[in-house]
Amino acid sequence: MTKLTLADFQKPAAPAANPDWVRVSMDTGGIAAGADEVCAVLEKGAGTLGFPLEVRRVGTLGYSFADPLVEVARQGMPTVVYGGVDAAAAGLILRDHLVARRLLDDHIVASRARGLVLDAPTTAILVKDTAADGGDKTQFFQFSLVEDLKRRGLQDKVQVVRALDLGVYDKGVAVQFLPSRVTYVNVLAADIAKIVDTTLRGKKVLDNLLYKTPDRQMRIVLRHCGVLDPESLPNSLQHGVYQGLAKALGAMQPAEVIGEMKTSGLRGRGGAGFPTWMKWKLTAEVDREPRYIICNGDEGDPGAYMDRSVLEGDPHSVLEGMIIAAFAIGARRGYFYIRAEYPLAVRRVEKAIADARAAGLLGDNILGTGFCFDAKVRLGAGAFVCGEETALIASIEGKRGSPSPRPPYPSVRGLFGQPTAINNVETLAAVPEILVRGGAWYAGFGTEKSRGTKVFAVTGKVRHAQLVEVPLGITLRETVFDLCGGVSGGKKIKAVQTGGPSGGVIPEPLLDTQVTYETLQQLGSIMGSGGMIVMDQDDSMVEVSRFYLRFCVDESCGKCAPCRIGGYQMLQILNRLSRGRGEPGDLERIRAICKAMQKASLCGLGQGAPNPVLTSLRHFESEFKAYLEGGVTYARKMAQTRPAETPAPEPVRA
Amino acid sequence: MPAHETATIPLPDRLKAWKDEEADLLDSLTELESRQGFIPRNLAEEISRALEVKLERLRQLQSKVGSNVRKEVDALVAKWKGEEGSLILILHEIQNQHGYVPREVAMEVAHALDIGLARIYEVITFYHYFQLKPPGRHNLAVCMGTACYLKGAPGLLTEAKNQLKVEEGETTPDREWHLDVVRCIGCCGMAPAMVVDGKVHGRVKPGEVTQRLTPAQPTKATP
């Protein structure tokens, strides 16, 4: 590839060449669910259609519950996402959707960008019963709608399709009109005639049925995931990747880039929430060369996969963010530290680096501006503590990943003793978009102190486990119930755990808490990297805290005593307790150990390890006591029947 | 595979015959002993003479194999030369190539990098990714991420343990299956998940572990 220059970014992006395309989500989750096979069927069939079809392998759109995902665009038809596609369904996409122009039943995951006005004649109606108990009125409504359409001779103009998911939950039967995406909820059988009359023939929206709640999601970090081919630099360029870099190198000074970050209010997305601009400024101010930039992709938090999805879905944007950061702090060299357990992410980032180097986006004289920078990938080797920045630095240096005391902070004395800025994958992925659209635009999302958006991986006992990107300040309840459909199987929610093994559990009465760095901290949890684990009434909080604690004990590097000994002793007590051999005074002992660990541990792992135990103890003490007082069988029964602790504490608002 | 390696492919047959030779000899001696009650002196002398020659050859063989290891390690060291903190990179390559870090290779790395063996073992034992024991022919890893844990991974693990009759982190005696527990493979959307020989299986139901293991699975413990 010829070297790009700044002038190449002045031209407007080339318009998409082919209006007929399919995009297959080929991230780790998608491939695990069989996306390879689906892609093979589509690629083989593409040549037999009689018109040119572009098959692209992209990252994930985030709807993990419906992997593998295929997005299909056909001229004159609404663009739809199909979920749960297997080889047979891929065949149907070719035959029915692309050739016969009919949508497939039971596979469509509807767009969350719902419309409020009928801006185009309806060609299809999606139907789905959104009740939590999985009640099946979908089929009946589809039948009734089709019958009604037949009566009015509309059956050839409008197709009625059973959807897999409409992004609306617990609102009775919902229907969505395509392509306008106007959505009705709580539709009753009696409404069908009216809908056909007014909305389909009269082209008017029925206000009493209209679902007006706007989508809370805002895709900034995930803007390209599931859209562009992560292994293709030209395709990434078409979607505007590296525009931010061109702007920074062409028209800005390093101080201005940092100033823009300050305006945006972007804070570290790895968990601690340190302001990104300040980190860069501190590193830039140290008068020692060389300086380094590190991208922390050591996503060790079990139950979270945001960073993996971004690295797999849009590696060029993360690389772009890193180059911009390097420009701002004056670094000549950068490292991606990625878990070895994410081989696909490693491969895609390595390819992105090689392609970018060939195109003059890395190396000497980037884009002809004289700026020099190069990046490399370093593999993690399965140590949770290496997500801690000083441990991560030790690991890149080829040593055991033991943390060291701070200060000195890495911005002063980091990799090989040199000033180093360490940023999370998500942070770096947000940087280019902030430069392109302005810091003030980004600061428009979120709350006063926690600005912008954050990606969360909502998993566990949730109806639809998926990635969501939401403005900070949204409540936990909105995230879990409105966006992900609440608890699976119609059970009652017990708690949500945020922040992984260093975070805490937040019980049901506190779910109206706004998600920001400060509010979560007040509740004894942390934002962390963005895992949200939903627990239902069947989950024993004693078991859950034991699970997290065992994780931290296994992962403790053993350098400092509070973490090494405290964690182990606490685990012994919890193990004994869960076997029904608890002793009086155990809970007090646990609290005392927790306090010692929080105060005296060297790094975040030891300081955070007590959080799951302490918050469980605070909100579900009765469960622990049940083990103490009544033994195992009694405790298990109690845990299921008794809801969260009373009296209900007040949710925290930012 | 380079040409000089493909040329050695007929060796395994000879290797097997060579390995069986001693066993045959041992068997016939045992039989002789049980029949006559002793081994004739002239025979014993002849054997010990042959043994000495053999031992010398064995030593040569060992150094041949050893130099192979050295060549391999030297190539790796040269590849990452000038790279600061290259030890972990080298260990990654060794781990990926052998499936574990053999002791003799670790010793060679210590030589080549001119650092203590303890420095290398310090790193190997710290990181979960590096193994000290050879892996089984097949690998089963049960994911123990939080999402999988809540959705029943402990049950899957127990089932796998019962089925393979090994504990986590162990290999079956016939070296067919290695059972592992992994932290999180990032497939939380399809919990509970497990990885069989690199292929991720999602939404595994209790009782399904057996059928997800490929046919080579030893259903009955082989003697």
Measured CA distances, B189 to A93, A109, A324, B185, B186 (Å): 24, 15, 33, 11, 8
Cis ω before B192 (30° cut-off from 0): yes
Residue A365 CB contacts under 8 Å (≥ 6 apart), including other chains: A371, A372
User: Which residue would you say has higher pLDDT here, A529 or A354?
Assistant: A354
Residue B55 burial by CB count (10 A; 0-12/13-18/19+): exposed, middle or buried? exposed
Q: What is the DSSP string of chain B?
A: --HHHHTTTTHHHHHHHHHHHHHHHHHHHHHHHHHHSS--HHHHHHHHHHHHHHHHHHHHHHHHHHHHHHHHHHHHHHHTTT-TT-HHHHHHHHHHHHSS--HHHHHHHHHHHT--HHHHHHHHHHSTT--SSPPPSEEEEEE-SHHHHHTTHHHHHHHHHHHHT--TT-B-TTSSEEEEEES--S-GGG-S-EEETTEEE-SPPTT-HHHHS-TTS-SS---
Residues of chain B contacting residue A29, judged by C-beta atoms under 8 Å apart: 186-187, 189-190
Residue carrying structure tokens 């050295």: B70
Do strands A505-507 and A531-536 pair parallel, antiparallel, or not at all (unpaired)? unpaired
Q: What is the DSSP string of A23-48?
A: EEE-SHHHHHTTHHHHHHHHHHHHTT
Q: Which of helix, strand or coil describes residue A127? A: strand
User: Nearest-CA neighbor of A457 among A492, A493, A426?
Assistant: A426
Smallest Cβ–Cβ distance between B186 and the set A28, A400, A535 belongs to A28
Which of A377, A400, A502 to mutate: most B Cβ within 10 Å?
Answer: A400
**Phi, psi angle pair for A531, to nearest 5°:** -85, 140
Buried-exposed string A619-646: b where 16+ CB fall within 10 A, e elsewhere = bbebbbebbbeeeeeebbebbeeeebbe
User: Nearest-CA neighbor of B94 among B111, B76, B81, B107?
Assistant: B76
Interchain CB contacts (distance < 8 Å): A and B: 132
pLDDT digits (tens, 9 = 90+) for A588-623: 999 999 999 999 999 889 999 999 999 999 999 989
Residues of chain B contacting residue A304, judged by C-beta atoms under 8 Å apart: 184, 186, 188
The per-residue pLDDT for A13 is: 63
The per-residue pLDDT for B69 is: 82
The per-residue pLDDT for B44 is: 86
Cis ω before A612 (30° cut-off from 0): no
Distance from the first to the final alpha carbon of chain A? 50
Interfacial A residues in 314-343 facing B (CB < 8 Å) = 340-342
Contact A338, A298 (CB under 8 A): yes
Return the beta strands (E) in A391-462 as ranges: 420-424, 453-460
The per-residue pLDDT for B7 is: 46
| Partner-chain contact A459 B182, CB within 8 Å | no
Q: Which of helix, strand or coil describes residue A84? A: coil
Amino acid at residue number A397 = E
The per-residue pLDDT for A322 is: 97
The per-residue pLDDT for A249 is: 94
User: Which residue would you say has higher pLDDT here, A571 or B99?
Assistant: A571
| Partner-chain contact A459 B188, CB within 8 Å | yes
Structure tokens at A135: 């009640």
The per-residue pLDDT for A202 is: 86
Do strands A371-379 and A333-338 pair parallel, antiparallel, or not at all (unpaired)? parallel
Amino acid at residue number A414 = G
- Measured between CB atoms, does A537 come within 8 Å of chain B? no
Contact A145, A160 (CB under 8 A): yes
What would the mean pLDDT of A200-206 be, rounded to a whole number? 88
Measured CA distances, B56 to A460, B44, B53 (Å): 62, 19, 5
* Tens digits of pLDDT across chain B (223 residues): 344 444 445 666 777 777 777 788 888 888 888 888 888 888 889 888 988 998 888 888 877 777 888 888 888 888 888 787 889 999 999 998 888 898 889 998 998 888 999 999 999 999 988 989 888 888 899 999 899 999 999 999 999 999 889 998 888 888 889 998 888 887 888 889 998 888 888 888 888 888 887 654 444 433 3
| Partner-chain contact A32 B193, CB within 8 Å | yes
Question: What is d(CA B221, CA B198) in angstroms, rounded to the nearest whole number?
Answer: 24
The per-residue pLDDT for A598 is: 95
Among the residue ranges A70-74, A260-264, A466-470, B57-61, the one predicted with the least confidence is B57-61
Residues of chain B contacting residue A417, judged by C-beta atoms under 8 Å apart: none
Residue carrying structure tokens 């260990």: B91
pLDDT digits (tens, 9 = 90+) for A277-301: 999 999 999 999 899 999 999 988 8
pLDDT digits (tens, 9 = 90+) for A491-505: 899 999 999 899 999
User: Nearest-CA neighbor of B147 among B198, B203, B196?
Assistant: B203
Domains of chain A: 18-111 (3.40.30.10), 114-214 (3.40.30.10), 233-443 (3.40.50.11540), 453-641 (3.10.20.600)
Smallest Cβ–Cβ distance between B127 and the set A381, A459, A500 belongs to A381
CATH architecture of B138-212: 3-Layer(aba) Sandwich (3.40)
Q: Cα torsion for A23, A29, A32, A35, to the nearest 10°?
A: -10
The per-residue pLDDT for B220 is: 41
| Partner-chain contact B85 A396, CB within 8 Å | yes
| Partner-chain contact B185 A28, CB within 8 Å | yes
**CA–CA min distance A103, chain B (Å):** 25
Measured in whole angstroms, how far is the alpha carbon of residue A416 from the centre of its chain? 32
Question: What is d(CA A210, CA A214) in angstroms, rounded to the nearest whole number?
Answer: 11
Most confident of A111-125, A416-430, B23-37: A416-430
Residues of chain A contacting residue B123, judged by C-beta atoms under 8 Å apart: 398-400
Return the domain boundaries, chain B: 138-212
Longest dimension (CA), chain A: 80
The partner residues of A534 in beta bridges, in order of sequence, read A460, A496
The per-residue pLDDT for B92 is: 92
Residues of chain A contacting residue B183, judged by C-beta atoms under 8 Å apart: 300, 302, 341, 382, 384, 551
- Measured between CB atoms, does A557 come within 8 Å of chain B? yes
- Measured between CB atoms, does A377 come within 8 Å of chain B? no
| Partner-chain contact A400 B201, CB within 8 Å | no
Measured in whole angstroms, how far is the alpha carbon of residue A159 from the centre of its chain? 33
% of chain A residues with pLDDT over 70: 97
What would the mean pLDDT of A323-341 be, rounded to a whole number? 94
Contact B216, B172 (CB under 8 A): no
- Mean residue pLDDT of chain A comes to 91
pLDDT digits (tens, 9 = 90+) for A627-650: 988 888 888 777 776 555 555 667
Task: Dihedral sign for Cα A159, A160, A161, A163, please.
Answer: positive
Residues of chain B contacting residue A32, judged by C-beta atoms under 8 Å apart: 187, 190, 193, 199-202
Confidence of residue A133 (pLDDT cuts 50, 70, 90): low
The DSSP symbol for A462 reads B
| Partner-chain contact B189 A341, CB within 8 Å | no
Contact A403, A385 (CB under 8 A): yes
Residue A633 CB contacts under 8 Å (≥ 6 apart), including other chains: none
What would the mean pLDDT of A426-439 be, rounded to a whole number? 96
What would the mean pLDDT of A568-580 be, rounded to a whole number? 94
The per-residue pLDDT for A145 is: 93
The per-residue pLDDT for B223 is: 33
Q: What is the DSSP string of A520-540?
A: HHHTT---TTSEEEEEETT--
